């Protein structure tokens, strides 16, 4: 099971979370990554934790003021990137372009989508993984695996029908080890979460609770 912690733009200490994630990953032998804001990618990567970007744009080098280059985050130490998070939606053509840009830079890719239909469309673009995250559950206390387990199973089926090599992650509302275990039972190979760790008083304790049943 892969645990990807998205720090969004929360007022947390990215180094504290990164260090906790690195240590828990080493102690538990569970793959854990942290996705900080672009300005913090290099600092987070320097801790030794697996580091992902929150977004990359579809363009390469050139006159693209304000864009986040896949090459730049890779040079800063990121090894993967989220694409099309519910808070950073892209047009389908730009999702495809971002996946291609990430591939050129050697980044692993996870394309987020709202529902199984969109998961199937995202899987057709050939990312390494897709994450199903109903917007109404993001940032809440109820996980998609608990509130609507069928959507996770349907997402796994939708991705598998298009490309069996694309992993399916479960996002939205994941907050404890029971959610992680349930997501795995439903066919997900990873989870995507944010507030459960980024807003925790003790990020290490929150991460230890997540990996406890694994």
Examine the residue annotation and report whether 133 is marked as an active-site residue of this protein: yes
pLDDT of res. 48:
98
pLDDT of res. 34:
98
pLDDT of res. 28:
97
User: What is the CATH number assigned to the segment(s) 2-59+66-187+195-211?
Assistant: 3.20.20.70
| Predicted TM-score of the model (pTM) | 0.93
Which tens digits make up the pLDDT trace of 22-64?
999 999 999 999 999 999 999 999 999 999 999 999 999 999 9
Q: Which is higher by pLDDT, 187 or 138?
A: 187
**Distant-in-sequence, close-in-space partners of 78: CB < 8 Å, separation ≥ 6:** 41, 45, 51, 52, 53, 107
Which tens digits make up the pLDDT trace of 154-179?
999 999 999 999 999 998 767 788 88
Rounded to the nearest 5 degrees, what angle is found at the Cα of 139, between the Cα atoms of 88 and 171? Answer: 70
pLDDT of res. 29:
97
Q: Which of 50, 71, 85, 108 is catalytic?
A: 85
Which tens digits make up the pLDDT trace of 87-144?
999 999 999 999 999 999 999 999 999 999 999 999 999 999 999 987 665 555 655 5
**Distant-in-sequence, close-in-space partners of 64: CB < 8 Å, separation ≥ 6:** 57
Q: What b/e sequence results for 181-198 when a residue is b if at least 16 CB atoms lie within 10 Å of its CB, and e otherwise? A: bbbbebbbebbbbbbbbb
Examine the residue annotation and report whether 61 is marked as an active-site residue of this protein: no
Q: Which of 26, 55, 108, 133 is catalytic?
A: 133
In this structure, what token pair is assigned to residue 63? 């006159």
Q: What SS3 class is residue 193?
A: strand
- Report domain extents, the chain: 2-59+66-187+195-211
pLDDT band per the 50, 70, 90 thresholds, residue 183: confident
């Amino acid at each position: 099971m892969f645990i990807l912690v998205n720090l969004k733009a929360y007022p947390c200490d990215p180094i504290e979370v990164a260090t906790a994630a690195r240590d828990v990953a080493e102690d538990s032998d569970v793959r854990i990554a942290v996705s900080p804001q672009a300005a913090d990618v290099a600092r987070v990567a320097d801790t030794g934790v697996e580091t992902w970007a929150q977004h990359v744009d579809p363009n390469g080098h050139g006159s693209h003021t304000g864009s986040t280059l896949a090459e730049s985050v890779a040079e800063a130490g990121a090894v993967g990137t989220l694409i099309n998070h519910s808070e950073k939606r892209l047009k389908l053509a730009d999702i495809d372009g971002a996946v291609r840009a990430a591939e050129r830079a050697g980044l692993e890719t996870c394309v987020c989508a709202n529902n199984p239909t969109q998961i199937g469309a995202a899987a057709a673009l050939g990312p390494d993984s897709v994450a199903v995250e109903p917007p109404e559950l993001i940032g809440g206390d109820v996980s998609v695996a608990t509130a609507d387990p069928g959507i996770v199973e349907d997402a796994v089926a939708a991705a598998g029908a298009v490309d069996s090599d694309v992993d399916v992650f479960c996002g939205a509302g994941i907050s404890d080890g029971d959610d992680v275990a349930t997501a795995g039972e439903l066919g997900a190979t990873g989870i995507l979460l944010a507030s459960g760790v980024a807003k925790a008083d003790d990020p290490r304790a929150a991460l230890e609770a997540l990996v406890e049943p694994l």
